[in-house]
Chain A
């Protein structure tokens, strides 16, 4: 028994020694001598395992590739979004350049820096990169190509802070495009819901005037802050209020505060002299011209009617006097020349000739 165990141990040690010797021989062999042995194993016993490993690596590569594809897709999506943002900014800049070329003078371009405070649900102020050194003053109007944005509240030398039309302190005189309705624009006080947070109210519109939904609203130029004819927005609907003699309308602003990137600040001289047809003011001016033409037509018609009535009265007077004369002549009475038309048409002798005394006195 002990011999068998000893023999077994010797066999084990012999096997270990054989394995070690063989391993060391393979270690010391040159590569060109080892390669045929390894190649033979790879082609025979290890071939299925090599196939499995190749399949696993393919799966791995496919997985990594899919991740790379996904990364590429994400990158392209991001680029697409950036391109869209750049296109939007480009459009806005084009509009701004167009607005600047239409205004020609009297403005300061500025970049709008939005506040990043997440706590503010409603954006009411923006910081502008132009200040008092560029001519910006308090209450200078801030405009965008789409229309009115707000006005300067604080002007520092290199920057300024403007309140938007959403600010509670903002108000501006407004009118309809045809100039029939005037009112005051205020931020929509009931705009607590997200949908109408940036809406405006046009208050104080006379009850006799009705504005239809979609009607354009412009600044009226009253008050001296905003020049006449800057687009404010469009009427959405009439609001029910307790006012009896005036109406209040909900107005959708033409400018979206979140999309404001670059603005123009009008200077005082430009405010005084007006902006003309820059913001579709052609409609306002055309309406004004129409009104003026209509008024002029009415005046002409009134004058024509007056002249006709005067001529008719003159004719009737002549006929009446002629009838009286003929009756008197038939009765043999004296007929004085008292026709009004002749009397007015003929100059009197005194007016043509100077008095005899004054003529004689001349040298």
Chain B
């Protein structure tokens, strides 16, 4: 990846991170959009899997620092997601918004699964409710928001460079 491409990727990821801390609290939806996952996937597919894992780890620390109870769990989840996204970059680079949305959905749901299970955030019925109701909803919203963000930021990202 060229320096220009890296700079563009950094800018887009920064925009998404800022949106995560501005638009998300403003909307305050019960099933909220996770712009960090979108930023993670957009960045990780342009890195080697190891760097993707490191990027995910950094983002996880960022997210976990504001939620002490999930500190570590978020880092673990995002590390795995970042590594997997980078490993599957060939698939993710496909110029298909629906496929990108599907991967965003899977990534978010997987992240929630790891976060909830490792972080011991919920138990029993509450955990099931969170995993099978709220997490899919949040994943779907995140996928939609990610697809919209990809559509808007496509000129900036120039994803079809390969």
Binding site for B on A (CB under 8 A): 8, 11-16, 19-20, 22-29, 31, 34-35, 37-38, 41-42, 45-46, 49-50, 52-53, 55-57, 59-60
Contact = CB atoms under 8 A, between A and B. Distances in A.
Q: Say whether chain A's binding surface is mostly helix, strand, loop, or mixed.
A: helix
B122 interface: no
A209 B54 CA distance: 107
Dominant SS among interface residues on chain B: helix
Interface string B7-25: 0000000000110011111
Interface stretch (B68-76, B98-106, B124-132, B147-155): B68-76
Size range of the interface on B?
A: 20 to 34
B49 A12 contact: yes
B45 to A, nearest CB: 14
A161 B48 CA distance: 89
Contact of B71 (A8, A15, A26): A26
Nearest to A35: B68
12 contacts: A13-B50, A15-B51, A16-B49, A19-B56, A27-B71, A35-B68, A37-B65, A49-B21, A52-B21, A53-B66, A55-B22, A56-B22
A16 B62 contact: no
B64 interface: yes
B79 A16 contact: yes
A15 to B, nearest CB: 3
A25 B71 CA distance: 10
B61 A41 contact: yes
B110 interface: no
A15 B76 contact: no
Contacts of A23: 57, 60, 72-73, 75-76, 79
Closest 6 pairs (CB-CB, A-B): A26-B72, A12-B50, A15-B50, A23-B76, A27-B72, A41-B65
Contacts of A31: 68
Contacts of B50: 8, 11-16
B62 A45 contact: yes
B76 A20 contact: yes
Nearest to B18: A52
Contacts of B65: 37-38, 41-42, 46
Given A11-B50, A16-B53, A42-B65, A37 B83 contact: no
A37 to B, nearest CB: 7
B48 A8 contact: yes
B25 A38 contact: no
Contacts of B66: 38, 42, 46, 49-50, 53
Given A22-B75, A56-B24, 15 more contacts: A11-B48, A12-B51, A15-B49, A15-B50, A20-B76, A23-B57, A23-B76, A27-B71, A27-B118, A34-B71, A35-B68, A41-B61, A42-B65, A55-B22, A59-B26
Nearest to B70: A27
Nearest to B84: A16
Contacts of A34: 68, 71-72
Contacts of A52: 18, 21-22
For A23, A26, A27, which residue has the most chain B Cβ atoms within 10 angstroms?
Answer: A23
A57 B72 contact: no
